[in-house]
Amino acid sequence: MLELPIYLDHNATTPCDPRVVEAMLPYFSEHFGNAASRHHAFGWRAEAAVDYAREQVANLIGAEPKEIVFTSGATEADNLAIKGACEMYASKGNHIITCAIEHKAVLDTCKHLEKLGIEVSYLPVLPNGSIDLKDLEAAIRPGTILISIMYANNEIGTIMPVKAISELARKHGILFFTDATQAVGKIPVDVNKDQIDLLALTAHKMYGPKGVGALYVRRRDPRVRLACQMDGGGHERGMRSGTLNVPGIVGLGKAAELAQLEMLEESNRLRKMRDLLEHELLLLDQTFVNGDTENRLPHMTNISFQHVEGEALLMGINKEIAISSGSACTSASIEPSYVLKALGLSDELAHSSLRFGLGRNTTEEEIAYTIEKVSGVVNNLREMSPLWENRNSR
Ligand SMILES: *Cc1c(COP(=O)(O)O)cnc(C)c1O
């Protein structure tokens, strides 16, 4: 039986896998030790669990366990990477390069640093959501210390040309940081093949718990150093102080292990359903996909429905289907998505866009229902709308 509402917002967060919860449970009450307690079995037990999780996370991205720094999530990892590198390498320069469609955790961090005298180049994106490597090369200058470009975008799923970016960064002796929060666990990511120096990830986007994530910090060739942004007991090799969230870290580790085991099969299953959903919705007139349809995460699509009022579209759907739209509600107003705007969409079109994010529990029945529901709402709204009637005369 189909249960409503259907959850298709897996880019915002994912349910914790029951196997992850099961792995975490003993570390709340039974094995509750502080991983930094060096003098007794309670501490050793917690430390062993953290070490094991560190291996699981490292394995998923081709890293060494010692290169993993646990954080409270990707937002913190983004802050630590960018602020930590700017502070550590201040003598080398004060310029960083990022791009217009990064997550706010990166963009707002850069804005903050601008107030402190760091200069930031925000690369535009091509209509497919990718950066132009020529723009990147042109932005590089003698004082550039960091390139921060996401692995895959959270709204449109476009995968950036990471290998080519890292080659450019290497050629110029610049560190390369990537916010890989949406990519890790969904597609193969390897910090050595991709020559990544710093990488952010989070558990709750890959069926782990909220409030825990990690920053990968390269230790060799080159050895990357960061100024810590949280002072305290010198945990995590001095890069992130604070008592470790042992159950959370165990959950992140288990989520990483499951992702590694099941990624290929899961992404094939989700890609098939995503392609069907997309194909059926594109049968509607004046409907198109945002972002690159080749270099893209397999489990999602972002579709614009021309001549449909965005709020009415969302309202017509979201009681039954939990989904994200191209509108971001700020405290004062509803703003069109800055990501879709950066691709060149009008405000109106950005508002009439929907992001469908499929996940581990998504079923074929749910996709069939979604196709029917969304098509029905779009057709109804268009029938009632003067925008649609006048579409050819405008
Ligand atoms: C979700 C997300 C974040 C924030 O992660 P948290 O763990 O929730 O702080 C950062 N970057 C990207 C690309 C994301 O999708």
Q: Pairing relation of β-strands 198-202 and 175-179?
A: parallel
Pocket test for ligand 1, best of 82, 103, 204 (most atoms within 8 A of CB): 103
- Residue for token digits 């897996």? 10
Q: How far apart are CA 188 and CA 134, in angstroms?
A: 26
Per DSSP, helices labelled H in the chain are: 18-24, 26-29, 41-61, 74-88, 104-115, 133-139, 162-171, 246-281, 310-317, 338-342, 347-351, 364-384, 386-389
Q: Tell me, what's the pLDDT at 390? A: 75
Whether residue 334 has pLDDT greater than 90: no
- Residue for token digits 């699509």? 301
49: its two tokens? 């669990």
Q: Tell me, what's the pLDDT at 351? A: 95
Q: Tell me, what's the pLDDT at 393? A: 59
| pLDDT tens per residue across span 195-254 | 999 999 999 999 999 999 999 999 999 999 999 999 999 999 999 999 999 999 999 999
Annotated binding-site ranges for pyridoxal 5'-phosphate: 74-75, 154, 182, 202-204, 243
Q: Tell me, what's the pLDDT at 388? A: 75
Ligand 1 geometric centre to CA of 202 (Å): 7
Q: Tell me, what's the pLDDT at 348? A: 93
Find the mean pLDDT for residues 255-275.
98
| pLDDT tens per residue across span 270-317 | 999 999 999 999 999 999 999 999 999 999 999 999 999 999 999 999
| pLDDT tens per residue across span 77-91 | 999 999 999 999 999
Arithmetic mean of pLDDT over the chain: 96
Please state whether the peptide bond connecting residue 336 to the residue before it is cis, i.e. omega within 30 degrees of 0.
no
Ligand 1 geometric centre to CA of 27 (Å): 25
Annotated binding-site ranges: 74-75, 154, 182, 202-204, 243, 329
Report which protein residue has its CA nearest ligand 1's atom 9: 75
Give the binding-site residues of ligand 1, using a 6 Å CB cut-off: 73-75, 103, 105, 150, 154, 179, 181-182, 202, 204-205, 213
Give the DSSP letter string of 163-183: HHHHHHHHHTT-EEEEE-TTT
Residue 385 pLDDT grade (very low, low, confident, very high; cuts 50, 70, 90): confident
Whether residue 331 has pLDDT greater than 70: no
Tell me the chain's radius of gyration from C-alpha atoms: 22
Q: How many CB atoms lie within 10 A of CB 228?
A: 20
Ligand 1 geometric centre to CA of 244 (Å): 20
Whether residue 345 has pLDDT greater than 80: yes
| pLDDT tens per residue across span 149-208 | 999 999 999 999 999 999 999 999 999 999 999 999 999 999 999 999 999 999 999 999
Ligand 1 geometric centre to CA of 213 (Å): 9
- Domains of the chain by range and CATH? 6-13+262-385 (3.90.1150.10), 18-257 (3.40.640.10)
Whether residue 330 has pLDDT greater than 70: no
Active site residue 110: no
Residue 8 pLDDT grade (very low, low, confident, very high; cuts 50, 70, 90): very high
Q: Are 21 and 310 in contact (CB under 8 A)?
A: no
Going by the DSSP 8-state scheme, the letter that residue 67 receives in this structure is: G
60: its two tokens? 């998923």
Report which protein residue has its CA nearest ligand 1's atom 3: 74
| pLDDT tens per residue across span 202-216 | 999 999 999 999 999
Find the mean pLDDT for residues 105-114.
98
Residues 6+ apart with CB under 8 A from 136: 97, 123, 147, 149, 165, 168
Q: How far apart are CA 251 and CA 247, in angstroms?
A: 6
Q: How far apart are CA 91 and CA 367, in angstroms?
A: 54
Q: Tell me, what's the pLDDT at 270? A: 98
Whether residue 394 has pLDDT greater than 60: no
Q: How far apart are CA 342 and CA 361, in angstroms?
A: 32
150 Cα nearest atom in ligand 1? 13
